[in-house]
Amino acid sequence: MQPSPAPIGAVSESAYWSVETGELLRRLETSSSGLAASEAASRLTKFGRNMPASRSGPSAFAVFVRQFRSPLVLILIFAAIVSVFVGEGQEAAIIGAIVLASCVLTFTQEYGASRAMEALKQRTSRKAIVLRDGVECSIDAEDIVPGDVIRLSAGNLIPADGVILDARDFNVSEAVLTGETFPVVKSPGRSAPEASVAQRPNAVFTGTSVRSGTASMLAAETGTRTEFASIAAALERRIPETGFARGIRLFGYLMSEIMLAIVILVFFANLMLHRPLIESLLFSLALAVGLTPELLPAIISVTLSSGARTMAANGVIVRRLDAIENLGSMDLLCTDKTGTLTEGVIHLDGWFDVDGNPSTDVLRWARLNATLQTGLKNPLDEAIAGAQGEGATSNLFTKVDEIPYDFVRKRLSVAVRTKEAEDLLITKGAVQNVLEVCGFVRTANRLEPLDDAHCAAIDEKFQRWSADGYRVLGLAIRRFESRNAFGRKDETDLAFAGFLLFLDPPKQGVRETLAALAHRGIAVKVISGDNRYVAAHLAEAVGLRADRIMTGEDLSKLTKSALFARAGHTDLFVEIDPNQKERIIQALRSRGHVVGYLGDGINDAPALHEADIGISVDTAVDVAREAADIILLKQDLGVLVRGVDDGRKSFANTMKYVSITTSANFGNMISMAIASLFLPFLPLLAKQILLNNFLSDVPSLAIASDNVDPDQLRRPRHWDIGFVRRFMVSFGLVSSLFDFATFAFLLLFVHAPAAGFQTAWFVESLLTELAIVLIVRTHKAFWMSHPSRLLAWLTLAVAVVAIVIPYMPFAAWFGFVPLPLPILAGLLAITALYLMASEATKRWFFGHESHQSHRRRAGWIIDRGNASHSAYLQ
């Protein structure tokens, strides 16, 4: 009995990989020439976009609700409920209002940041080549539907689940699904219905990548119905915790420990002093809120998203927000030379026979090879096709077959049939790799055996041209009787026919760009598959060291520890096998560097993953773009320099908020905790602490837009929890010193009653928290570094509010009373003195830290040098 037909575009109830190709085409109501555009649009409406899961960010309501999941917010809500039950309705209303206002502030910042990032992600959508109405066209991979016929080639990420219709030397990396390291050969056919993913050689799957060859596939499953989507949670890339994220986590632990200790101590101390239970509880919780940088997540989100928008305007798309901080911390950049150090527009400058004479035959054969191959597109073939000179007439030759390029053979062969009805196999590739399959040389239109003398002459020309900056390829031929197919076994006993010389000159201004990177503390190392002579010539031309070179052959002989020792003393890694790139990045990271890797090729993905910051370009192959953290819209190191500056600005502005929180806030809360143990009343009521904390946070919302001093961009910035702790103690002590001076002024000189003391202390503590913003935001004297206009105006506005709030009609709600002018003048004088003392402390602190940093760095270099020397001797 025949099975009933599946619905159009759906084959989920059958194992599509076990169905004959013709039957599968019938079930999907499509053909080998693809779908009609109108039918594809209809199916897209029916089946939805081709995404493993919804890519849209959380809704506004979800983001708003998330603000109330903070433990501190929940504690305050609990305190407000308790206040209601004990008859403190006004207290509960004020606490609730402040909590709501804080959550609204953080919501507007976080939601705006998430929307901005979603808009940026749309700019890096992936493309795919499909057949629509029988014609190849490029569409968004998300628009693929069941029944589409998709063209695949080396470097593509496979965009859907389906079966192979035709293939040529087609190898697919399925590690993301199966964990299998080596690529799997794929070809048309059938697999058993019960076959696992790893046992379906005729099927390909979403998220896997093409390593070599070409193929056409029929999409059978898309979106949430793919194998990738079914285990998406398990397959999600586990990104190592960045140094910045780790610093934030440790900072959270530090503040939590301090907060917990103070809350418990103050709460029980007040109970022992026979203070009311609810009043003691609310005061202790308010102190916890005052100590906690509750706006830090929002500040980080806003700062990073603002940095991402700025970077996008400068040609850098951020795919992962944490990468911005890593980019600012980067002190070592590894890159290939093509397109970054060179113009990237390769020209074919010469075509010579074995004797070094210009040869139209070599150009003709090269053109046939370059224009008829259908595998991996590359600029060398484009340069050959566009070269001026006598070309091949296409109607005189018929393509028979091709043997695609791969990274092991490093050569590409195309077989053509001539008008004499014989087949000509044309092979081009790296000179040494072409010579490996040659048994003859073609000189003066005759064949001679390839002997040592010929090899030496070929190598001499290769070295001489390479030293002049040319990239040299070899070309060989062999004639066969007519046949239908060719394979790798036919690449033997070829006749070496000549050379192709390509020139990719240094990019204009690249020397200045490299100097700009060096000025920012970023060293550049070149990792290239090109030979040592070309790489050294380019390095000298652009101002890099050319005497510290390691070849791929040298690297393969080194142990892991020996490579770790030598990598830091090498500037040019040349003739590198693609699989060695990851080892180099790992070795450089082991030396304590924050390493960026710029790559755009098929085999760059492992190195991009291994690097602290993976950088690719918009024109890179799919697998490289997906592995990268940052995408350059233009392959230009100048764009990257601006991105580094933007990353360092984001880091600097985030640290400003941490500095503000850990200076005046910390000092004020500690002072209140101590004062509460000795005063006959609380130094501030809980609602006053919450209002103080809320108002002092308002200017921080403008931190993301603040100006950053140029000197803070000149070196990589790293999170240092020890620095944060020392900063907190140093400035906290200064703050507490002036707090106690304020207490003495209010108690001993003006004999302020409880309400007057609390009002005056509220004004003074808020003014000092605002003043410290202007001090710690810069390493310079505060009058020499101007804040952004928004930060300056918000700080001034809140300062005015702090002074006038005791005179407002609603002041009594918060327990405030009007302050006499002499008291207000005294508070302003104390604030001015505090500002001067903080400025002096800042100069001492940063001077001391700079000195200690140099000493620690010198000690680190000595220790690492000794360790490296020991490893090298092994």
What is the per-residue DSSP string for 700-766? GGGGGG----GGGGSS-----HHHHHHHHHHHHHHHHHHHHHHHHIIIIIS---HHHHHHHHHHHHH
Q: What is the pLDDT of residue 863?
A: 45
Which phi-psi region, left, alpha or beta, contains residue 708 (left: φ > 0; alpha: ψ -120 to 50)? beta
Q: In this model, does residue 504 exceed pLDDT 90?
A: no
Q: What is the pLDDT of residue 72?
A: 54
Q: Mean pLDDT lowest for which of 225-239, 545-559, 690-704, 790-804? A: 225-239
Residue type, 660: I
Per DSSP, which regions of 240-379 are E strands?
A: 316-318, 332-335, 347-353
Q: Which residues of 497-533 are buried (b: 16+ CB within 10 A; e: fewer)?
A: bbbbbbbbebbeebeebbebbeebebbbbbbbbbbbb
Contact by Cβ (8 Å): 651, 244 = yes
Q: In this model, does residue 136 exceed pLDDT 60?
A: yes
Q: What is the pLDDT of residues 806-826, one digit of tens each?
A: 999 888 888 899 999 989 999
Pairing outcome for strands 438-443 and 494-503: parallel
Q: In this model, does residue 178 exceed pLDDT 70?
A: no
**152 or 264: whose pLDDT is higher?**
152
- Residue 747 tokens read as 């108690």
| Residues 6+ positions from 119 with CB-CB distance below 8 Å | none
- Unique residue bearing structure tokens 């370009």: 617
Q: In this model, does residue 42 exceed pLDDT 60?
A: yes
| Residues β-bridged to residue 470 | none
Q: What is the pLDDT of residue 77?
A: 66
Percent of the chain with pLDDT over 70: 81
Confidence tier at 86 by pLDDT (50, 70, 90): low
Indicate which residue of 169, 336, 401, 600 is catalytic.
336
Whether 355 sits among the annotated catalytic residues: the reply is: no
Q: How large is the angle between the packed helices 243-272 and 721-744, nearest 10 degrees?
A: 30
- Unique residue bearing structure tokens 């998220």: 207
Average pLDDT over residues 481-488: 88
Q: What is the pLDDT of residues 576-635, one digit of tens each?
A: 876 788 889 989 988 888 899 988 776 677 788 888 888 888 777 677 777 788 888 877
**233 or 409: whose pLDDT is higher?**
409
Give the chain's end-to-end CA distance (angstroms, integer): 72
Confidence tier at 874 by pLDDT (50, 70, 90): very low
Per-state percent for the chain, helix, strand, coil, to nearest 5: 55, 15, 30
Mean pLDDT, the chain, integer: 80
Confidence tier at 220 by pLDDT (50, 70, 90): very high
Confidence tier at 13 by pLDDT (50, 70, 90): very low
Q: In this model, does residue 833 exceed pLDDT 90?
A: yes
Classified as helix, coil or strand, 33 is coil
Q: In this model, does residue 6 exceed pLDDT 50?
A: no
Q: What is the DSSP letter of 157?
A: B
Q: What is the pLDDT of residue 223?
A: 85
Nearest C-alpha neighbor of 51 from the set 232, 319, 197, 320:
232
Q: Mean pLDDT lowest for which of 88-97, 333-342, 559-568? A: 88-97
Q: Mean pLDDT lowest for which of 117-121, 217-221, 392-396, 839-843? A: 117-121
Confidence tier at 3 by pLDDT (50, 70, 90): very low
Confidence tier at 87 by pLDDT (50, 70, 90): low
Q: What is the pLDDT of residue 75?
A: 58
**700 or 35: whose pLDDT is higher?**
35
Q: What is the pLDDT of residues 354-391, one digit of tens each?
A: 999 999 999 999 999 998 887 666 778 888 988 876 65
Q: Mean pLDDT lowest for which of 397-401, 420-424, 670-674, 841-845? A: 670-674
Q: Which of 235-239, 374-378, 522-526 has the highest mean pLDDT?
A: 522-526
Task: Count the alpha carbons within 13 Å of 502 in the hemisphere toward its beta carbon.
Answer: 26
- Measured between alpha carbons, how far is residue 836 from residues 797, 823, 840 in Å? 21, 20, 6
- Measured between alpha carbons, how far is residue 398 from residues 417, 424, 517, 559 in Å? 5, 10, 51, 50
CA distance 866 to 872: 10
Q: What is the pLDDT of residues 43-72, one digit of tens each?
A: 999 888 888 665 555 667 776 776 666 655
